[in-house]
């Protein structure tokens, strides 16, 4: 929109430009003091930070630049207070007390704006291009979808942002990940990012920010871009971003915290100028062809252990030598044998939701598969909208009815079984098909529970067939031809 109407893009990468704008001072030891434009907090990683402030006799420097919600510990069946779990109740009560004491806005349960922190900040228009965004949660990389530099921090750093609205940071290198072409029908942003991490590894991005660019990325919706950037951290990159464009601006316009009137025009001009310029120099570049990517599923215990749904669990011979010990551990833990096709593996639980795939378009894609079908007998399947706004929008178009008619449970918003800090969890050796972002050992609440990561549509396909299935078959799509060998 504005790139074509006279606005200019300045030199350098978006990362460089945003970094320079937020540089406060150089610190002893060589790190940079970086101003944080938007600080997001939740009930799990903030209580000790507020306690530390209290111990140090410090206040919150910019309470208007911190926004709170509650997501990790909330139950998804009944959200009546007090919660049945006294520890969960204590955590929320502590957050409420801290926010009230320091004048911080809390989007609480029933406010109409509560939800997973990485879902609500974008949908409220809080997340904008050119910002630095920090949150005590590693999936803060999600906000990079808007052309923000967004990264997860620990609790001591939450304390530092509360006290000073800044952080001691070291500048990252930038790797441009060019994705050209179009994703095939039935293949989603989740498959793309699982494919990228499969290819570059879970530590390939350490020391880098990932800039996602190319014709495939430009064609993605904002919700798809959020899915992509969400898992940058699973590839080792602390932040990932997409250059802001007309798609970005159209998403933001009209949201509660979006600029209005003449400020909107000035905002769009400034946002447009931030995109990486044609002269930008990248520390590394990798190219992917979108059209060759199949629906992708993890078989192991790291997000990098993924394969196409039409592939088999890799053998040791096909695994690089230094990754073999982890592969052997994964075979044992997952009880999957090398050479076994991943399609057809039976599942016990199906979970649709989380900060990567709990948005309206994710629920629409899953509902398209579930519509008119039935969850397989004996299987537990549930849908957890990412926010109260997502839930309301989905209910307005009848998606809740589609899911419940198919035998899914329709729940209240929260992080839920992504990390099982609430009552939603796997039991014993159960294996889940999950639209979340982590398949670590024990991640979903059972020390021996197992997780297969996939797109929401693939989770719905698993739910109605009872096993890992190629969603393209259910959507009556012709599977793409994968070269043999």
Partner 1 sequence: MSSSLPPRPFPAGPIASVTGTAVVVRGDDIDTDRIIPARFLKCVTFEGLAEGAFADDRTELAGAHAFDQAEHQGATLLLVNRNFGCGSSREHAPQALMRWGIRAVVGESFAEIFYGNCLALGLPCLTAGHDAMRALQEAALAAPTAPLCLTLAEATLEGYGQRWPLVLPAGPLQMLTTGQWDATGQLLSHHAELSRTLAALPYANGFH
Site for partner 1 in 239-268 (CB under 8 A): 259, 263, 266-267
Closest separation in Å from C-beta 22 to partner 1: 7
**Within positions 179 to 218, which residues make up the interface with partner 1, using CB under 8 A?**
202-203, 206-207
Closest separation in Å from C-beta 469 to partner 1: 28
- Hey, which residues does 180 pair with through a beta bridge? 289
Contact 184, 291 (CB under 8 A): yes
**Within positions 282 to 301, which residues make up the interface with partner 1, using CB under 8 A?**
none
- Size of site (CB under 8 A) for partner 1: 84
CA-CA-CA-CA dihedral for 426, 430, 433, 435, to nearest 10:
20
Name which of 300, 298, 284, 305 is nearest 199 in CA terms: 305
Which listed residue (443, 458, 461, 471) binds partner 1 by CB under 8 A? 443
Radius of gyration of the chain (CA): 22
Contact 247, 224 (CB under 8 A): no
Which listed residue (419, 431, 457, 461) binds partner 1 by CB under 8 A? 419
**Within positions 10 to 49, which residues make up the interface with partner 1, using CB under 8 A?**
21-25, 27-31, 33, 35, 37, 44-45, 47-48
Q: Where does this chain touch partner 1 (CB under 8 A) — which range of 135-143, 191-199, 291-299, 466-474? A: 135-143
Contact 181, 219 (CB under 8 A): no
**Within positions 78 to 97, which residues make up the interface with partner 1, using CB under 8 A?**
85, 87-88, 90-91, 94
Residues 6 or more apart whose CB falls under 8 angstroms from that of 166 comprise 24, 33, 34, 35, 36, 160
Q: Pattern of binders to partner 1 over 153-182, x per CB under 8 A?
A: xxxxx-xx--xxxxxx-x------------
| Helices and strands (DSSP H and E) totals, the chain | 16, 19
Nearest to partner 1 of 167, 474 (CB atom): 167
Nearest to partner 1 of 24, 401 (CB atom): 24
DSSP 172: P
Nearest to partner 1 of 56, 287 (CB atom): 56
Which listed residue (123, 137, 348, 412) binds partner 1 by CB under 8 A? 137
Residue count (the chain): 485
How far apart CA 44 and CA 55 sit, in angstroms, is 19
Residue 158 in 3-state DSSP?
Answer: helix
Closest separation in Å from C-beta 378 to partner 1: 27
Please report whether residue 426 would count as binding partner 1 according to CB under 8 A: no
**Within positions 102 to 131, which residues make up the interface with partner 1, using CB under 8 A?**
128, 130-131
- Hey, which residues does 152 pair with through a beta bridge? 135
Which listed residue (69, 114, 298, 302) binds partner 1 by CB under 8 A? 302
Structure tokens at 384: 């957890």
């Amino acid at each position: 929109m504005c790139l074509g109407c006279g606005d200019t893009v300045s030199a350098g990468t978006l990362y460089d430009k945003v970094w320079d704008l937020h540089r406060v001072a150089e610190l002893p030891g060589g790190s940079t003091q970086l101003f944080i434009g938007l600080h997001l907090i939740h009930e799990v990683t903030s209580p000790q930070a507020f306690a530390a402030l209290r111990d140090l006799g410090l206040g919150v420097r910019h309470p208007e630049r911190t926004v709170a919600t509650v997501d990790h510990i909330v139950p998804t069946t009944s959200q009546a207070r007090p919660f049945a779990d006294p520890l969960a109740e204590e955590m929320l009560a502590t957050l409420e007390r801290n926010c009230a004491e320091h004048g911080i806005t809390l989007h609480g349960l029933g406010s109409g704006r509560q939800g997973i922190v990485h879902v609500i900040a974008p949908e409220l228009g809080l997340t904008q291009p050119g910002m630095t965004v920090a949150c005590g949660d590693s999936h803060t990389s999600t906000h990079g979808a808007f052309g923000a530099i967004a990264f997860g921090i620990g609790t001591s750093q939450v304390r530092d942002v509360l006290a000073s609205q800044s952080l001691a940071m070291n500048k990252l290198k930038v790797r441009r990940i060019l994705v050209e072409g179009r994703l095939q029908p039935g293949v989603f942003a989740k498959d793309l990012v699982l494919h990228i991490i499969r290819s570059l590894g879970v530590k390939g991005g350490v020391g880098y920010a990932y800039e996602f660019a190319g014709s495939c990325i430009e064609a993605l919706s904002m919700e798809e871009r959020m899915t992509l950037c969400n898992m940058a951290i699973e590839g080792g990159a602390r932040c990932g971003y997409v250059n802001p464009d007309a798609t970005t601006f159209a998403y933001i316009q009209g949201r509660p915290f979006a600029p209005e009137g003449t400020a909107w025009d000035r905002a769009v001009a400034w946002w447009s100028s931030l995109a990486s310029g044609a002269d930008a120099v990248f520390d590394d570049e990798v190219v992917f062809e979108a059209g060759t990517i199949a629906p992708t599923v993890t078989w192991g215990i790291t997000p990098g252990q993924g394969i196409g749904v039409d592939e088999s669990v890799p053998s040791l011979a096909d695994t690089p030598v230094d990754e073999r010990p982890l592969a052997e551990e994964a075979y044992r833990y997952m009880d999957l044998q090398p050479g076994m096709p991943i399609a057809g593996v039976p599942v016990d639980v199906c979970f649709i939701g989380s900060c990567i795939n709990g948005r309206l378009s994710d629920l629409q894609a899953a509902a398209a598969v579930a519509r008119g079908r039935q969850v397989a007998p004996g299987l537990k399947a549930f849908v957890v909208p990412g926010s109260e706004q997502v839930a309301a929008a989905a209910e307005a178009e009848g998606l809740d009815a589609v899911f419940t008619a198919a035998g899914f449970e329709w729940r209240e918003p929260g992080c839920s079984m992504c990390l099982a800090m609430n009552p939603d969890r796997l039991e014993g050796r159960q294996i889940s098909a999950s639209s979340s972002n982590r398949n670590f050992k024990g991640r979903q609440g059972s020390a021996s529970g197992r997780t297969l990561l996939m797109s929401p549509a693939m989770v719905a396909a698993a739910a109605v067939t009872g096993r890992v299935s190629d969603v393209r078959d259910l959507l009556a799509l012709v599977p793409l031809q994968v070269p043999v060998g």
